[in-house]
Amino acid sequence: MADLMLWGVLPYVVLVLFIGGAVWRYRYDQFGWTTRSSELYESRLLRIGSPLFHFGLLVVIIGHGVGLVVPRDWTRAAGVSDAAYHALALGLGAVAGVCTLAGVALLVWRRRTTGPVFSATTGNDKLMYAVLVLAIAAGLATTLVSTAAEFTGAHEPDYRTTVSVWWRSIWVLSPDVAAMAAAGAAFKVHALVGMALFAVFPFTRLVHAFSAPWFYLFRPYVVYRSRSGRTPPATRPAQRGWSR
Amino acid sequence: MGRVMAQVAMVMNLDKCIGCHTCSVTCKQAWTNRSGVEYAWFNNVETRPGQGYPRRWEDQERWRGGWTRTRGGRLTLRAGGRLKKLATLFANPLMPSIHDYYEPWTYDYGHLITAPLGDDIPVARPRSLLTGEPMQVTWSANWDDDLAGGPELAAQDPIVQQVGDRVRLEFEQTFMFYLPRICEHCLNPSCVASCPSGAMYKRAEDGIVLVDQDKCRGWRMCVTGCPYKKVYFNHKTGKAEKCTLCYPRIEVGMPTICSETCVGRLRYLGVVLYDAERVGEAAAVEDEKDLYPAQLDLLLDPDDPDVQEAARRDGIPDTWLASARRSPVYTLIKRHRVALPLHPEYRTMPMVWYIPPLSPVVEAVSGTGHDGEDADNLFGAIDTLRIPVEYLAELFTAGDPAPVERSLRTLAALRSHMRRVNLGQERDPSIAEAAGTTGEGLEELYRLLALAKYDDRYVIPTAYGVDDADRGVIEEIGCSLDFESGPGMGGMGAAHGRTPAPPFGEASGRPDPASVETFHALRTRQTSDAPADRADLKGRVNLLNWDGNGRPEGLFPPKEEP
Ligand code: HEM
Ligand code: SF4
Ligand code: SF4
């Protein structure tokens, strides 16, 4: 019963909160939709911590994508041995995870010790950081567990036959509760904290991630707008970001 | 001819600035009197030589604002192109810190009345507005006001460093002036080009550069992109803010607040027409010294029938064309070429122009016992006083002294010519000729610069562009304050007879935006000659707007009936 609630119902509650919350906030709180950058107050620590955290996180996100989306049979069929796959995934995952954790640790420390940054920290930020740090720490713990299993040969179910199978089953609306129930404890904790992160995501400053401005690469440099609302043509042709 | 666009531009006559900061204060009252932008001055006045605000903003080796020309002749953002911008999004290495502006503070006034009785007189100590902690005040927006000669401070002026050490001593003894600065509302705005979310834009109708507060995501790239450091980051809301050229006022034909309240009456506002398709080309000319002529060349002659036809083709209404023909700004910039752009070498094509100060020259001449209104003395001094001229040239023409000299010679000729006129002497055409102009030209300048009537200084057409039917015949102008519950359509906003009336009386519903309230209070005060005793103020008197006349009802609470 508990398994069904946790792995069969909760994911959908989180999805509704995540998507519905984001849409709701986008419609009603454009003004609050910002990074709320604190670089004006302090930049020495931010310049190390923020790129460390964000670039680490980018790799982590890509890693999650590959690990969860691509079934084991496919990589096997592509001629990648399980051992090679795990060595790569764990190696890269551990490095990226440690960078992310170190980055976020530096950011939290900066928030606590730099007077103006601390004054500008809201309760919402504190909650966000608690969930975020827990999610990263739990994620790193799963990497440790898997690595340990790899070296000691201890029996630990492969996440690619448990967590990933469950994750993919959510999207076809028939959650494979049993698969997730069979996963290791560390994975269960990580999945739960991860779901908490997604649930609060739209209601925190993290929404800035939705607005990653990739469109900047494609638009003309100078933007004109008309009072009447129609956009007048650009006076200079757009130039691609990579051509300069 | 390419696409013709209109721009509301400003000229400031530096000779008349007394450095009173009235413009800064009234601007602050109107726009940045809120937490989060305590440190921001959309209008600031700097003593030159001096470091300016934020400190050493002109040092583009460090801040990398504006544009540069690549070896291939293309224009690129000095701080790096699009990919570099995105890669440095997580922490912007070129972002100024609050200490480059100053840490905002208040005073612990409460202590004055809560201090326990004792021998010492209680004092209000400064407290940081960022942390609430007691702090030492060590710098502010105009900390080096009037201290231009101070060796430690003047030495930090990036332009002094450029002009060179050899001259510092002489220079300090002869030369000081004030430089009021607002956003330049550039034709080629690098702030707009730096904004990754596309939240900043240049308004097509009047060229005003604005930040869309709903679309800004706080990537803070505009702050570094602007070489004039005129975009500020609101650290409370996490959004960028900047000078709006008081667009709600401009739209109804009123001058900006800084202009309206300027004590020296030295600001001019008017429309210029320019060829938008040639902006990129003009901003990319190879030699920096050619930037001023290239920029001058962009501005189109509103009296030229071809220009008028092209302007109509591109949707500029006749009222705007008529206004452009009377524009004092065009007259000063192009007809007489006395006004110069600030730092054209940043290649943003700035649209706030400056008439360089002649006073250092006049003072040097009269200080040595000579006649400071004699043309030959002044012309000679302009030629020999290399230092002020070189300094001004670094400021206004990328180091080329010729246009600065030309402008100063015209101002000198104006002085001598008008003295002869006022003393009833015969006009001497050689004076005007020596400055490359005519007696009539000088008298036109005299009317603009010395008499400086309100209606000559500000020639601002009302807004257009809401509806194509507006063209030529604007009957009812649309206004940006004209939103739901706004004051447009003759209403007075939420608190003042809004239709439909708010359900639970005056105090219900959303409050008026501050801009709307200020707008109406100001308009009421400026257009009525009665004291602020008006029924529509609903029994309240806003002391900030009370002009001191009479004893308006509502100034004191009603007497209680015994
Ligand atoms: C590609 C997308 C993203 C971009 C462009 C981006 C950019 C930024 C920027 C500019 C800041 C402000 C730094 C400052 O000046 O103070 C920031 C802060 C932050 N970002 Fe991101 N971000 C992205 C994705 C994410 C994601 C996916 C997360 C977490 C799930 C995240 C978590 C944070 C946190 C926690 C902060 C606050 C740092 C602090 O000031 O303590 N970001 N981000
Ligand atoms: S001066 Fe104004 S328009 Fe020009 S770059 Fe700076 S903020 Fe933008
Ligand atoms: S109000 Fe006018 S005179 Fe006073 S500082 Fe400002 S620009 Fe100069």
Least confident range from A153-157, A200-204, B155-159, B477-481: namely B477-481
- Say if the Cβ atoms of B218 and A31 lie within 8 Å: no
* CA angle, B238 then B244 then B249, to 5°: 135
Which residues in chain B (472-491) have CB-CB distances under 8 A to chain A?
Answer: 478, 480
B100: closest chain A residue by CA: A40
Which ligand 1 atom sits closest to the C-alpha of A117?
40
pLDDT in tens, B509-527: 444 555 666 666 667 666 6
Q: What is the pLDDT of residues B293-322, one digit of tens each?
A: 999 999 999 999 999 999 999 999 999 999
Q: Which residue pairs from B311-317 have beta carbons closer than 8 angstroms and sit at least 24 positions apart in sequence?
A: B311/B4, B311/B6, B311/B273, B313/B4, B314/B3, B314/B4, B314/B5, B315/B465, B315/B468, B315/B471, B316/B4, B316/B5, B316/B6, B316/B273, B317/B461, B317/B464, B317/B470, B317/B471, B317/B472, B317/B474
Task: Count Cα neighbours of B278 within 13 Å in the Cβ-side half-sphere.
Answer: 16
Tokens representing B151 are 């060796």
Which residue from B190, B220, B349 has its CB within 8 A of the most atoms of ligand 2, so it is best to mutate? B190
pTM: 0.85
Q: Which residue on chain B is closest to A241 by alpha carbon?
A: B82
Q: Which of B85, B90, B213 has the highest number of chain A CBs within 10 A, making it the mutation to test binding with A?
A: B90
pLDDT digits (tens, 9 = 90+) for A66-110: 888 888 888 888 888 878 888 888 888 889 999 999 999 999 999
Percent of chain B's residues with pLDDT above 70 = 80
In terms of Cα–Cα distance, which of B373, B469, B321 is closest to A228? B469
**What's the number of domains chain A is made of?**
1
pLDDT confidence of residue B341: 97
pLDDT at A238 exceeding the cut of 80: no
A236: in domain = no
Structural domains in chain B, CATH included, are 8-241 (3.30.70.20), 359-395+402-437 (no CATH), 500-562 (no CATH)
Residues of B in contact with A54 (CB under 8 A): 90
Residue of B1, B4, B82 best to disrupt the A interface, most CBs of A under 10 A: B82
Domain presence at residue A37: no
Contacts of B86 in chain A (CB under 8 A): 213-214, 216-217, 241
Nearest to B201 among A38, A54, A224 (CB): A224
Give me the residue from B89, B202, B218 closest to A222, CB to CB. B202
**Partner residues linked to A92 by β-bridges:** none
Beta carbon of B435 within 6 Å of any ligand 2 atom:
no
| Residue A73 forms part of a structural domain | yes
Q: Closest residue of B to A58, CA-based?
A: B90
Who's near B75: CB < 8 A, 6+ residues apart? B67, B68, B69, B188, B280, B283, B284, B347
Mean pLDDT of chain B: 84
For residue A224, which residues of chain B lie inside 8 Å, CB to CB?
201-204
Mutate-to-test residue for ligand 3 from B12, B22, B342, highest number of ligand atoms within 8 A of CB: B22
For residue range B24-58, what is the model confidence (pLDDT) as tens digits?
Answer: 999 999 999 888 999 999 999 998 888 899 999 99
- Which of B242, B279, B347 for mutating ligand 2's site (highest number of atoms within 8 Å of CB)? B242
Is A198 part of a structural domain of the chain? yes
Residues of A in contact with B238 (CB under 8 A): 34-37
Whether A240 is in a domain gets the answer no
- Indicate whether A95 belongs to any domain: yes
Instruction: Say if A142 falls within a structural domain.
Output: yes
Distance CA A195, CA A13 (A): 10
Q: From CA B551, how far away is CA B554, in angstroms rounded?
A: 9
Phi (first) and psi of residue B74, to 5 degrees: -95, 165
Containing domain of residue A95, as a range? 2-30+43-206
- Tell me how far apart the alpha carbons of residues B462 and B467 are, in angstroms, rounded to a whole number: 14
Chain A environment of B90 (Cβ under 8 Å) = 50-51, 53-55
A116 and B218 within 8 Å at the Cβ level: the answer is no
| Ligand in closest contact with the CA of B259 | 3
Bin B175: left if φ > 0, else alpha if -120 < ψ < 50, else beta: beta
Contacts of B105 in chain A (CB under 8 A): none
Compute the average pLDDT of residues B479-505. Answer: 45
Put simply, the answer to whether A232 touches B204 (Cβ < 8 Å) is yes
**Confidence (pLDDT) at B525:** 60
Whichever domain contains A50, its CATH number is: 1.20.950.20
Residue A53 within a domain: yes
Q: Which residue of B has its CA nearest to A211?
A: B217
Tell me the C-alpha distance between B187 and A146, whole Å: 59
Please tell me the distance from the alpha carbon of residue A235 to that of residue B448, in angstroms, as a whole number: 34
- The pLDDT of residue B143: 85
pLDDT value for B166: 47
Instruction: State phi, psi for B249 to the nearest 5 degrees.
Output: -80, -45
- The proportion of chain B whose per-residue pLDDT surpasses 90, expressed as a percent, equals 60
Residues B112-134: b if buried by 16+ CB within 10 A, e if exposed:
eeeeeeeeeeeeeeebbbbbeee
- Say which of B189, B218, B465 has its CB closest to residue A222: B189
